[in-house]
Structure 1
Amino acid sequence: MQGLMIFLEVVVVLLLLAEVYIRLRARRRRLQNRDAQVSAETRKAIVPVSPVESAPTSRAEVLPAHPQGEQSSTLQEALSIDDLLNEANIYLEYGHYAQAATVLRWYVDLNPHETRVINQLLDTYLAMADMDSYAGLLEGLGEKSGSVPMNESWWRERVEHGLQQDPGNLELLVLAEKVGMAVPLPQDQSAEPALTAEMALALVARNRDPHYGMAILWRAIAHEPLKLPLYAELLRIAHQQHLVEDYINALILLYLTVGYNGKTLRQRMLRAGEDLGPHPLWTVLADWDGNPETLRQLARSRQLEIPGSLPLA
């Protein structure tokens, strides 16, 4: 199972690298075309239209004030940035939000400090009701918190706007917790959006923050406690981060899920946990006789909530 998860992670990384390569290649071609156009316009500007009508001039009057390469590079950069924003504004004017979002995302990736354009892109995602991209952009900016100028009030406002449109968006709920927002849980538990194992594993694969990943997996386990891939990923993260207590909590629920007959899996996970260091519960779990009530009492002593849908035996 762990090998499958590693394979899926590799596939996701390869797809992301391919997308970045395609974007960079297209941008390079566009910049080369603009460079050639700027050079042509510069030559026209410094060459007299007609030798007969033009007054004699000295060499200093004909040549540009700066070297042509430096001027071309400066103009090229200015044209690229302005053209991106102008192109996006045209798309927005005619209601082509998807195309505008693509162009604005290119710009934001190159200029993560431009708050005005970031707000424009977030508003575009809201207009498209593309809450996954909205939350994904906020997550990406959060990972670059040292290089972006947004303050706490900006983060709260943006997370709140997203939750107003999609109150059940899990990524936004996690962001709300990170910025200290009090997000009330639905009173009707049946109205709480279910988080499937597939959705949770996809979210964890997109975000390398271990605390975020563990929060996602615990919520998914509460909805689908019989999905073994959730435990495998949760145990992997806890082991990688040397979080012994979290590892033991996940292991207790795994024991309840697979039961006494899943001895091979239990022993393998237990041996991996013992590598983290000594703990009195390793012996308790190793000597478990198959009685689920023993594990339930152990869970209660650790304030570990057991999903209601988990079988009693």
Structure 2
Amino acid sequence: MLEPDPNREYVDPSRGNAERHGAWLPIATATALVLAIGALLWAFLLQQRLTDTEEKLMVAEQGSTAINRRLEEADARLRANSAMVDQQMTAAQQRQQELAQRAAALAAQQKSDATRLEASQADTSKQLGAVKGEVSSVKTEVATTKTDVAATRTDLADTKQILQRTIGDAGVMSGLIAKNHDELEVLKHRGDRSYYEFTLHKNAPPTLLSTVKLQLKKTNEKKGRYTLMVSSDDRNIEKKDKTVLEPVQFYSGKNPQLFEVMVNSISKDVVGGYLSVPKGE
């Protein structure tokens, strides 16, 4: 066993460890302090980022709310516009149906007028045939009147060539038109309608003819135009700016039939002509 050297200094091992620990303590403390400061700084930065993120989310939510509100407003406007379009389409369809009904009614009226005209023409032909038969019989029985009858028939044929037909202001084919008193007498002898001659003065009281009252409101001799007020079936009808020899037509009576006013002469504040009405009116 070795003996300790009395000349050698003794070193305590535990003292060396204490010295070493004492040297590392400041370093560890500084390191811990740095780490703590870093952790606090990181926590502060993280909190700041969280705050920024929350603000951005809040702004985004507000923007989303505004967008949703705009979308709702746009949807409401779209629904309102759609409802308006539906109403307009419904109104257009109703208007189309009304026009179709009016067209059908006009077509039926035209067909009825055409049928009535054909019947009137047929009656006129029968009446003319009857008159011709009677004239032939008279010619055979009375020899002394042959020349007069022949002359009368010639005049009647000439007058028929002068008489004309035209479309009236109601869109209906008029009867034969008499341009003067003599031609009107021929029409009267046909017997298919009744004729009432008149002379109307401007602003004079209404003139009663059959069941109709006529009153002259205005004349234009230069242009051959006049304005007439027709009173029929408790209705007043203004026939404005009509021309000479233009059939002025209207319907009257319990079972409405075609009436015609024919002005064949015009002068300053005065017109002359006749009213043509169906038999029995």
Common fold: TM-score over 0.5: no
Structure with the larger helix share: 1
Structure possessing the higher radius of gyration over alpha carbons: 2
TM-score range, shorter chain: under 0.3
TM-score (norm 1): 0.25
